[in-house]
Structure 1
Amino acid sequence: MKLHREGYLIILIGVLILGAIHVGNYFLLQATGWDWLYYLLTLGEVVMLYLIVQFFRVPNRTVNAEDLDIVCPADGKVVVIEEVEETEYFKDKRIQVSIFMSPLNVHANWNPIKGIVKYVKYHPGLFLVAWHPKSSTDNERSTFVVQHENGKEVLFRQIAGAVARRICYYAKEGDKVDQGTEFGFIKFGSRIDLFLPLDAKVDVKIGDVVKGKLTKIGSL
């Protein structure tokens, strides 16, 4: 387990703010006899710091998948599996698999397949709740396409939610990526959409709780 680099500054700011609040509470409450309220607020400060730190955790995981497997790009719950028209890149029908990430999930994102990054595009947008049907097309989002060596392509998209306010990504067009390597991070609640070929096998179902790098979404 380690902390993601995207969290260093936020954790530092959180420590400074909560530390200042704690000192203020000490002089205002404990020093004046309000011990019970001081300890209650101190507990709240500890819980808040824990929540901030755990959001940026990155567990140690090893990919154990076959060459044609599609591994889960994020922790969360499967909320959509359906055939849709993908309008940004493929402009044809694909199988969409969507994973909702709550603020309590790990928020690092990993490449679902190995191959060459063929497409990267960031879209500014709205901040609808991540499970809203239009969040995939109207919210702030980043789209990536990786082409496997067999020629098949998988599109995956980071989508900001009502709480998420920053999408971070590191992939560039032309990069050669391995299955399970990190391509990005989303801060505070979000969603990942995958668009798979129609002949892809899907091994998950709606409602499944999935783990990035560990859960097999399906295969090409």
Structure 2
Amino acid sequence: MSKVYPHPLIAREGWPFLGGIILAASLVDIYAGLSWSAPLWILALFVLQFFRDPQREIPQDPKAVLCPADGRIVVVGKAVDPYRNREALKISVFMNVFNVHSQRSPVDGVVEKVEYHGGSFLNAALDKASLENERNAVLAKLADGTEITFVQIAGLVARRILCYTKAGDTLARGQRYGFIRFGSRVDIYLPLDARPKVAIGDKVRASETILAELG
């Protein structure tokens, strides 16, 4: 298992938020005292935990499909992959505001296409969020030709999907490729012969939890 993770423990997406809140809290503390600045310090702690981005153990089994995000499994079953227009095994991970919100590649593969779609901001735990919410899909192909799709979906509070990969890029399993701010979901579409290793309600961790094994 690899422990290499070349990113800071606090996601760079959070630095402006955390820096601004700490500055504001410090100024209020200096000029008005702790009783007035306490809510801002509490908010700073929330932002700090939201943007944490810890190192994870990364299983190297080439047949293992790793979880792309922290959260809870809300869907495991057959569905239509809307980006490839074919039946697939769909597994969905719902992230609340207390989960780590960086997304990491579930496999080693080459990015074939990245598709962004605008949309609504429904509760990401609802299945209809997969097709109605703002979302960003990454279509990837493995070395053996297996094709999978993983989709970042904005949630009720989320208003920004960040994706750092593009067509032609090579992703390594566990590699950080995106971030969603403040509550969201990730769907993954796999071949029908993939064997799920999780069930609805399971709590999962990005890169460490194996979602499924490829056939």
TM-score (norm 2): 0.91
Report what 1:54 is aligned to: 49
Q: In the alignment, is residue 123 of structure 1 matched against residue 117 of structure 2?
A: yes
Equivalent residues of 1:164, 1:189 under 8 A apart: yes
Report how far residue 19 of structure 1 moved.
3.0
Report what 2:102 is aligned to: 108
Report how far residue 214 of structure 1 moved.
0.2
Aligned length: 207
Equivalent residues of 1:22, 1:45 under 8 A apart: no
Report how far residue 65 of structure 1 moved.
3.0
Report what 2:25 is aligned to: 18
Partner Cα separation in structure 2 for residue 183 and residue 206 of structure 1: 25
Report how far residue 105 of structure 1 moved.
0.6
Partner Cα separation in structure 2 for residue 153 and residue 2 of structure 1: 31
Q: In the alignment, is residue 150 of structure 1 matched against residue 141 of structure 2?
A: no
Match of 1:58, SS state, is: coil
Report how far residue 17 of structure 1 moved.
2.8
* Deviation readout 1:26-77 (Å, 9 max, x if unpaired): 2xxxxxxxxxxx54x5443322111101111111113123011100100000
Structure exhibiting the larger radius of gyration computed from Cα positions: 1
Partner Cα separation in structure 2 for residue 211 and residue 80 of structure 1: 16
Equivalent residues of 1:95, 1:198 under 8 A apart: yes
Partner Cα separation in structure 2 for residue 25 and residue 187 of structure 1: 31
Match of 1:149, SS state, is: coil
**1:5 is matched with which residue: 3, 6, 12?**
12
Q: In the alignment, is residue 80 of structure 1 matched against residue 75 of structure 2?
A: yes
Report how far residue 124 of structure 1 moved.
1.4
Partner Cα separation in structure 2 for residue 13 and residue 125 of structure 1: 29
Match of 1:54, SS state, is: helix
Matches within 5 A, 1:88-103: 89-103=83-97
* Deviation readout 1:104-132 (Å, 9 max, x if unpaired): 11111000010110110111111111112
Partner Cα separation in structure 2 for residue 136 and residue 55 of structure 1: 23
Which ranges in structure 2 are unaligned for 5 or more consecutive residues? Answer: 1-7
Q: In the alignment, is residue 207 of structure 1 matched against residue 214 of structure 2?
A: no
TM-score (norm 1): 0.89
Match of 2:77, SS state, is: strand
Which ranges in structure 1 are unaligned for 5 or more consecutive residues? Answer: 27-37
Structure 1 vs Structure 2: percent identity of aligned residues?
A: 37
Equivalent residues of 2:50, 2:100 under 8 A apart: yes
Report how far residue 182 of structure 1 moved.
0.7
Report how far residue 23 of structure 1 moved.
4.1
Equivalent residues of 1:101, 1:189 under 8 A apart: yes
* Deviation readout 1:196-218 (Å, 9 max, x if unpaired): 11000100000000000100001
Richer in helix (by share):
1
